[in-house]
Structure 1
Amino acid sequence: MPYTVDLAFRVEETLDDLSEDGRQEIMETIAAALVRPDWWPEPGGWRGAFVFGPRSWMWFTAFLGGIEVIDVGWAG
């Protein structure tokens, strides 16, 4: 089943400001969460979850059929 990813506006801005390495790692972290719906919080409401990469993190919430990435960070 294909899933959808929505990015909050500040996430898009953050990705634009990162180096290629940072952007790549954050996108890999998002992809890892997207294919693991068992990591997702219950859809609806404002429950969120964190996923961590080697030097990155993302905070997201779930809806039916996908996730919304609320914030990201990279320690690079």
Structure 2
Amino acid sequence: MLTLLITAANEGPAPEDVKAGWVALIIFLLLALAVAFLGWSLVRQLRKAQAAKDAGAYGDEPVAEAGEPANGDSPTSV
């Protein structure tokens, strides 16, 4: 029984029986499109989370904008 399985696995289909199919290409392209969409969505969510963190939504100190002091005091000149 084992030798029958080994010989069947070694033979495989004939080269003329195997051809590329359009269905497999379409499935592959749809999977690639899904991965691209998930990557785009992940980047969007990470940007939103970073903006919320910078605004102090998670209990951190809000990040100051460029040219604005972090603690609300007026800038001092040295």
Report the TM-score range of the alignment, normalised by the length of the smaller protein. Answer: under 0.3
The structure with the largest strand share of the pair is: 1
Q: Greater relative contact order (Cα 8 A, min sep 6): structure 1 or 2?
A: 1
Larger radius of gyration: 2
Given the two structures, how large is their TM-score scaled by the length of structure 2?
Answer: 0.26
Given the two structures, how large is their TM-score scaled by the length of structure 1?
Answer: 0.27
